[in-house]
Structure 1
């Protein structure tokens, strides 16, 4: 189903609640305060959005996203931090170029970043009537495996996918691997997090064990949560549109016909896509929003202009060249395929 159809149907069926909003780039940096707290540089580069209190450590005892004085997200109540790996293009001469990010539909002017969703039910359920419990202060999670290089390992994470955009409204089909042909409007990386919480732990050692997928069915089909993780939470979803249009010349692609894009951790397959989340909503804003009939935007929240969200920036911790044509990806990760 196309995005325009989703919007049209939503008008005919009031929803409670699905919010969709833009978050501009906060920083692109080789830090990872969830998996590698205190390490600078961390093993690979990330693109990060959200509140400006982000630092290399984010000690849960003292460093909270809620301490931010600005946010790159449209809703000023959301000072959470969200991040993913960074996509690179590898030219035939062996050099690498960071792929830029283009704004999603409806968010013209946003500088880089992602589109973020919080949903009570799947995108195709326009009623959004399931009761969910919002994340709590201090909550953190990760989905995906940066080291996955096979479909078998990637399939453990059910809704980490790609869409080869024919135009900006394309949403299907989705694949687990990076597209193997040029995508006219870019490559959308989709990351949906598990939706069942154990109700106890705000985080775990692997940043995943406190979360689970439904015991049967899926989040979209409103499958029940398992007994071990009985608390339904909103489905958090990221969409990042990598603007691959300038790299679509087949004469620049590998001579064997394979695709030329590589994630910042060295993954050429696409199976290593992953996303990180540090909760940072102010007060009970997220719970009130999930309990309020609204679709895309919500009367419980304050929307800042895209121009203002673009102004919220922090300096990079790791000073290295990430913008030129580079002889290797920052951090020199082992590439999963020899070109």
Structure 2
């Protein structure tokens, strides 16, 4: 009762301060799941209380740091594609977040995890390296996770390998280098308002299903038999200094007019989630564990085998190809593939 009364008797100021300490936007903090009002209130209060109790994030230094980089101003020959896919299936649903709430099992809203099969609140670089993976490429032991989708109380999991693109939106696609081991970040915000979600630099086309497109909130109905889809892009310019920062965002930045800026000069692959959820028909009870549709966000913790990731980045992104998870472009068979039939380096 103490925690509840604190939230409702002047505690909103404390709550806002706590959220700011986490680098989260307090505007729209009342966004909660649709469905039963009591469930909405409990979900929001539980998540807010957990955020207030969680310790502040820390700076994690890159080792080695990348220094002396100047953002590329080059303009190589135009190639329409420069990408490859990481096809990864769902592994588990648990209320953990090893980036925002490290070492605190159950402190987060529920997340749907893909990629590494061991990801939980206690995950570290070492534990991810020792874990398995649901990705097609065994060398990708990265952790990928997002808020869980519900239809009422039923969990809706994406079925089969989901498309996680590694691409670039930089003019000089040849300047892109692989992620440093241990890089982690959060894309989007569970506290975003509808307008913030729409204007976010990671926004692509909103929520889609059937003949319904560019939705900020979930559509009222979706054509029966269709799927609910979303694409969302991550920042791709790195400061070269930190693998993580207290807000889990400020070490990364989006390009400006196709170029990285001097404070984030290192060009990295741009991750794009392309998720497909098998839910359709009446969508009135569909919600995310983090709240409304515009609270969608996701987390990434890099645990790729460095030579494997390096080969895919070099062959597909720098090479200007449209590759599958093997690093093979069907329209350019003469280029070969980065990986063999077992999705490992030849």
User: Smaller-chain TM-score range?
Assistant: 0.5 to 0.7
Query: Equivalences for 1:148-227 in 2 at 5 Å?
Result: 148-152=192-196, 155-159=199-203, 162-166=206-210, 173-184=213-224, 185-216=226-257, 223-227=258-262
1:80 aligns with 2:142: yes
1:239 aligns with 2:304: no
Q: How many residue pairs get matched? A: 250
Structure ranking higher on relative contact order (CA contacts 8 Å, 6+ apart): 1
Following the alignment from structure 1 to structure 2, what is the Cα–Cα distance between the partners of residues 180 and 196?
Answer: 37
1:274 aligns with 2:297: yes
**1:180 deviation in Å?**
3.5
> What's 1:310 paired with?
none
Q: TM-score, normalised by structure 2?
A: 0.65
1:141 aligns with 2:185: yes
> Which of the two has higher C-alpha Rg?
2
Counterpart secondary structure, 1:142: strand
Query: Equivalences for 1:94-105 in 2 at 5 Å?
Result: 96-102=153-159
Following the alignment from structure 1 to structure 2, what is the Cα–Cα distance between the partners of residues 190 and 303?
Answer: 28
Q: Confirm or deny: 8 A CA contact 1:75 1:302 kept in the other structure.
A: no
Query: Equivalences for 1:1-339 in 2 at 5 Å?
Result: 17-60=82-125, 63-68=126-131, 70-90=132-152, 96-102=153-159, 110=160, 114-121=162-169, 129-152=173-196, 155-159=199-203, 162-166=206-210, 173-184=213-224, 185-216=226-257, 223-245=258-280, 248-249=281-282, 259-265=284-290, 267-268=291-292, 270-292=293-315, 293=319, 294=321, 295-296=323-324, 297-298=326-327, 299-302=337-340, 304=342
Q: For structure 2, which runs of at least 5 residues remain unmatched after alignment?
A: 1-77, 328-336
Q: Indicate the RMSD between aligned Cα atoms, in angstroms.
A: 2.7
**1:67 deviation in Å?**
2.0
Q: 1:36 to 1:147 in 2, by over 3 A?
A: same
Following the alignment from structure 1 to structure 2, what is the Cα–Cα distance between the partners of residues 25 and 129?
Answer: 30
Q: TM-score, normalised by structure 1?
A: 0.66
User: Which stretch shows the higher mean deviation, 224-233 or 150-159?
Assistant: 150-159
Q: Confirm or deny: 8 A CA contact 1:164 1:188 kept in the other structure.
A: yes
Deviations 1:95-143 (A, max 9, x none): x2222323xxxxxxx2xx6321101348xx9xx9443011111110111
Following the alignment from structure 2 to structure 1, what is the Cα–Cα distance between the partners of residues 91 and 124?
Answer: 19
Q: Confirm or deny: 8 A CA contact 2:205 2:213 kept in the other structure.
A: no
Deviations 1:52-98 (A, max 9, x none): 342322245xx342222x210011111101000011123xxxxx222
Q: Confirm or deny: 8 A CA contact 1:64 1:280 kept in the other structure.
A: no
Counterpart secondary structure, 2:244: coil
Counterpart secondary structure, 1:291: helix
* More helix as a share of residues: 2
Q: Confirm or deny: 8 A CA contact 1:162 1:179 kept in the other structure.
A: no
Deviations 1:257-309 (A, max 9, x none): xx4321112x12x111000000011122212211114422312235559xxxx
